Amino acid sequence: MKVTLAGRIQAAILIPSKDRTGKRINQRKLADEIHSYFAKSFGGATELSGVGSWNGENGIVREKALEVSVFTSLRRKKIFAILKRIAGTVLKTANQESVGFRIGNDFYLVG
């Protein structure tokens, strides 16, 4: 069976592993909730793990991060609204200063 992604755009949200004070959060629970939402809304999702870094108040901060992504044919404005809402939930739940998401090659921060 051939599956084509023509006309679809990849959209992803980043999930931190620590809050703004360096305390570990329940990253797995957040990722599972996002997976569930994406599976119901878009038919599935992909998760990648990595390490993120940024220049914080006390120097460079590094932490493990998860990226959960989907391919969608929704218009950019609609997927932006969905990911912005999810990022806002992650922001509050994870006690973060900001949370990032990506639509195609464009990266956005909420916070």
For 52-66, write each residue's pLDDT tens digit: 888 877 788 889 999
**According to the model, what pLDDT value does residue 8 have?**
84
* Rounded Cα gap, residues 42 and 74, in angstroms: 10
Q: Taking all residues of the chain, what is their mean pLDDT, rounded to a whole number?
A: 90
**According to the model, what pLDDT value does residue 55 have?**
82
For 83-98, write each residue's pLDDT tens digit: 999 999 999 999 988 8
Q: What is the dihedral of CA 74, 98, 66, 86, to 10 degrees?
A: -40
Domains parsed from the chain with CATH numbers: 10-104 (3.30.70.120)
**According to the model, what pLDDT value does residue 60 have?**
86
